Amino acid sequence: MDLWRAQTDALRSRGPVGWSKKSGGHWVVVDHEYVRRAALDWQTFSSLHDTSGECLIAKGIGIPPLAFPLILSESDPPLQQERRKIEQPFFHPSEVKRWEPVIQRHVADAVEMLRGRGRGDLFSDLAMPVVAKTVFELVGIDVDRWTQFTLSSASAGADLSGEIDRVHGMLGEVVAERRRAPRSDIVSALARGEVGGRLMRDDEIVSMLSALVLGGFDTTSGLITCALIWLDEHRAAHAQLRADPALLANAMDEFLRVYPSSLGVGRTAMRDVEFGGCQIARGDRVFLSWAAANRDPKVFEAPHEVRLDRPNAAQNLSFGAGGHRCLGSGLARLMGRAAVSAVLEHLPDYRIDHAGLQRYASRGVVRGWVAVPAVMT
Ligand code: HEM
């Protein structure tokens, strides 16, 4: 059983909010309704990561704090909304729909290559290239360069700080290029976007891009690989999905619910507050556990079971809630569905070598796989 599940089950047996001694001590919200309420109440539970010294208690969304600030995720309204508005049009459902043929093309290329070889890795040959190439085209980075922008040390135990600096350096070069020659892409929109009455600095734009490039990859590829691993282990469900493809959208929500790529997110209490029967003090750190909320037995019957036709699977909180709810959720769902559906249709007899599976070990709350070897005929 996952360690987080044992820990959150133990906390849940005592109430909606519990205390963890880890990382200097912090509250953990495990109840679906309380997680949602905290995510919506940004005035009490702030995402701000203060680097200017004006509000030293605000330590952002990482517990422990992130090594580099993510200025969109780690800010509160009104600045957060101003930043988000620049990217929002690119993620509108009608815009996302336009990317469907692009996603299908990247999926078809990956599936064709796997079929030709008869073996491969469902992370590095399918999930990662599909997600990375799609996000790159959307953001406005040359697709041919996608391997340079992914973290090459996505392997167990690696220290990623040098890798992140390298990727941020390259993102800075793309920003400089678009300032000289704008296009109709997200980088150019950020380069001309005003926040707080001024143009954003290059380092601020790099931080916004980093959330898209690094934040969108592992999470979405985690969704795809978790779904494919589970379906390999449950062949009756695999056959059921092949026979009834209309079930896939709900099934993907169920995979998101049971295997959230991001286990949760941190906030800082900005005032003393009684919450879930606990006295939370100003400055306390609070972890909103999407993973625990997704398995709240008050909301989901038999919460630890994957049920492809679960009627309320979409009530999962894996994309968060409130003003910071995931901007890329529509795109992530589309990529997830396209990849899993193509494997079921074109590589139906794929079998995963479970001995070769390897998890991320270095990504904190982000869960997923870096090696998913498989054979297929
Ligand atoms: C299965 C895949 C994904 C999952 C589970 C996921 C999860 C999340 C969660 C939980 C948040 C909220 C964090 C918070 O409350 O502080 C978030 C925010 C965000 N996500 Fe995703 N994400 C996924 C894919 C993507 C993709 C593909 C993109 C874009 C390419 C993306 C872009 C963003 C951005 C920009 C934010 C920040 C929004 C804000 O703070 O206003 N995500 N994501």
Q: How far is the CA of 92 from the centre of ligand 1 (A)?
A: 14
User: Looking at 40-49, 211-220, 262-271, which range is the least confident one?
Assistant: 211-220
Q: Considering the chain, what is the average pLDDT of its residues?
A: 92
Please tell me the distance from the alpha carbon of residue 358 to that of residue 361, in angstroms, as a whole number: 9
CA–CA dist 62, 67 (Å, integer): 9
- The CB of 84 under 6 Å from ligand 1? The reply is yes
CA dist 231 and 223 (Å) reads 12
> 240: CA distance to ligand 1 center in Å?
30
CB 332 less than 6 A from any atom of ligand 1: yes
Residues 337-371 have pLDDT tens digits of: 999 999 999 999 999 999 999 987 655 667 788 89
The answer, yes or no, to whether any atom of ligand 1 lies below 6 A from the CB of 126, is no
- Cα-to-centroid distance, 326 and ligand 1 (Å): 4
**pLDDT tens by residue, 68-115:** 789 999 999 999 999 999 999 999 999 999 999 999 999 999 999 999
b/e for 107-123, b at 16 or more Cβ within 10 A?
beebbeebeeeeebbbb
Q: Do 237 and 227 meet the contact criterion of CB atoms below 8 Å apart?
A: no
pTM of the model: 0.95
Pocket lining: 337 vs ligand 1, CB cutoff 6 Å = no
Distance CA 177, CA 174 (A): 5
DSSP state of 122: I
Rounded CA gap, 318 and 40, in Å? 15
Which residue minimizes the CA distance to atom 3 of ligand 1? 219
Q: Please indicate whether residue 142 or residue 315 has the higher confidence score (pLDDT).
A: 315
DSSP labels, 179-202: HHS--SSHHHHHHH-EETTEEPPH
Q: Does any ligand 1 atom lie closer than 6 A to the CB of residue 237?
A: no
pLDDT at 123: 94
Mutation probe of ligand 1 site: the residue of 37, 41, 219 with most atoms within 8 A of C-beta: 219
What angle (nearest 5°) sits at the alpha carbon of residue 106, between those of residues 105 and 112? 85
Q: CATH no. for residue 341? A: 1.10.630.10
How many angstroms separate the CA atoms of 40 and 325, rounded?
A: 10
The dihedrals phi and psi of 206, each to the nearest 5 degrees, come to -60, -40
Q: Rounded to the nearest whole angstrom, what is the distance from the C-alpha of residue 196 to the centroid of ligand 1?
A: 23
- Can you list the positions of beta strands (E) in the chain? 17-20, 26-29, 45-46, 119-121, 194-195, 198-199, 264-269, 273-275, 278-280, 285-289, 351-352, 358-359, 369-371, 373-375
Half-sphere exposure of 132 (CA within 13 A, CB side): 20
Which residues have C-beta within 8 Å of that of residue 144, sequence separation ≥ 6?
Answer: none
Q: What number is the average pLDDT over the span 305-323?
A: 98
Distance 311 CA to ligand 1 centre (A): 24
> Minimal CA–CA distance to 47: which of 69, 74, 67?
74
Residue-wise pLDDT for 160-188, tens only, equals: 677 788 888 989 999 999 999 999 999 99
Q: Is the CB of 319 under 6 A from ligand 1?
A: yes
**Atom in ligand 1 nearest the alpha carbon of residue 84:** 41
Q: How far is the CA of 160 from the centre of ligand 1 (A)?
A: 20
Percent of the chain with pLDDT over 90: 77
Q: Report whether 85 contacts 77 (CB < 8 A).
A: no
pLDDT score of 78:
97
pLDDT at residue 152, rounded to an integer = 47
**178 and 202 Cβ atoms separated by less than 8 Å:** no
Q: How many domains does the chain have?
A: 1
Partnered with residue 46 across adjacent β-strands are: 268
Tell me which residue has its CA closest to atom 36 in ligand 1.
326
CA of 329 from ligand 1 middle (Å) equals 7
Q: Residues in the chain, how many?
A: 377
Tokens of 107: 């999926």
Instruction: Please tell me the number of Cα atoms within 13 Å of 207 on its side-chain side.
Output: 19
Angle made by CA atoms 236, 367, 49, in degrees to the nearest 5: 145
pLDDT at 157: 47
Q: Taking 90 as the threshold, does the pLDDT of residue 151 lie above it?
A: no
Averaged pLDDT for residues 238-244:
97
Report whether pLDDT(155) > 50. no
Within 13 Å, how many C-alpha atoms sit on residue 316's CB side? 30
Q: Tell me which DSSP letter residue 322 carries.
A: G
pLDDT of residue 165: 84
Q: How far apart are CA 49 and CA 39, in angstroms?
A: 16
Task: Report the atom number in ligand 1 closest to the C-alpha of 39.
Answer: 15
Give the range of the structural domain holding residue 144, as residue numbers without chain letter.
Answer: 3-375
